[in-house]
């Protein structure tokens, strides 16, 4: 089927570009994905950010990839600090992700991000104390992909902070959507 280029990217010839874009977004939203809080640090600056684009990329070495919008403060911190953590969130804590959609208020003395207690991981990246589990990563590579960067980190530490069978948050557990 021939493809045309439109204001919202390529679309099949004969299709309405806007209508096709809405369809494409709905299809992409059906893909299962988790919902996480990414911790980032550069020097004394820290942040936590809601993120849903994360996946394991390699077994040996253990590599994790996360997609972060280039305009995000967390992008700047990961690029400069060369570390990040992925905090896996309890399904019961679904409201927490809305608290991390903008740069957070950090209280270094109280060790909180937007009021949520954290500790520094092995890399120095913040790890939320109430996470089900975490992956602590050192940045190995950056790949520009459209308006995002794929940050590839080697997992240098990981652990559970709650029982392993705790149900974890997924995008479909919320009314949020991102991407598409």
Residue 19's pLDDT band (cuts 50, 70, 90): confident
Whether residue 125 contacts residue 84, with contact meaning beta carbons closer than 8 Å, is answered with yes
- For 87, counting Cβ atoms within 10 Å of its Cβ (0-12 exposed, 13-18 middle, 19+ buried), the class is buried
Residue 68's pLDDT band (cuts 50, 70, 90): very high
DSSP for 55-66, written as a single string: EEEETTTTEEEE
Q: What is the pLDDT of residues 97-125, one digit of tens each?
A: 999 999 999 999 999 999 999 999 999 99
Lowest mean pLDDT among 62-71, 75-84, 136-145, 170-179: 170-179
Q: Which two tokens stand for residue 21?
A: 């874009």
Kind and range of the H or E element at 73?
helix 73-81
Q: What is the pLDDT of residues 23-52, one digit of tens each?
A: 988 888 777 788 999 999 999 999 999 999
Per-residue model confidence (pLDDT) at position 102: 92
Tally of CB atoms within 10 A around 154: 16
d(C-alpha 139, C-alpha 53), whole Å = 16
Hey, what domains does the chain have and what are their CATH numbers? 1-31 (no CATH), 35-172 (2.30.110.10)
């Amino acid at each position: 089927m021939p493809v045309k280029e439109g204001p919202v990217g390529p679309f099949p010839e004969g299709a309405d570009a806007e209508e096709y874009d809405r369809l494409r977004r709905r299809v992409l939203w059906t893909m299962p994905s988790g919902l996480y809080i990414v911790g980032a640090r550069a020097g004394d600056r820290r942040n936590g950010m809601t993120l849903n684009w994360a996946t394991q990329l390699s077994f040996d070495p253990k590599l994790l990839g996360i997609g972060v919008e280039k305009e995000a403060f967390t992008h700047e911190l990961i690029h400069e600090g060369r570390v990040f953590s992925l905090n896996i969130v309890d399904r019961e804590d679904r409201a927490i992700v809305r608290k991390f959609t903008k740069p957070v208020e950090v209280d270094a003395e109280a060790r909180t991000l937007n009021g949520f207690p954290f500790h520094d991981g092995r890399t120095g990246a913040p790890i939320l104390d109430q996470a089900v589990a975490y992956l602590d990563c050192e940045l190995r590579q950056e790949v520009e992909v459209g308006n995002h960067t794929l940050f590839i980190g080697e997992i240098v530490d990981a652990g559970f902070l709650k029982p392993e069978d705790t149900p974890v948050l997924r995008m479909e557990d919320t009314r949020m959507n991102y991407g598409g």
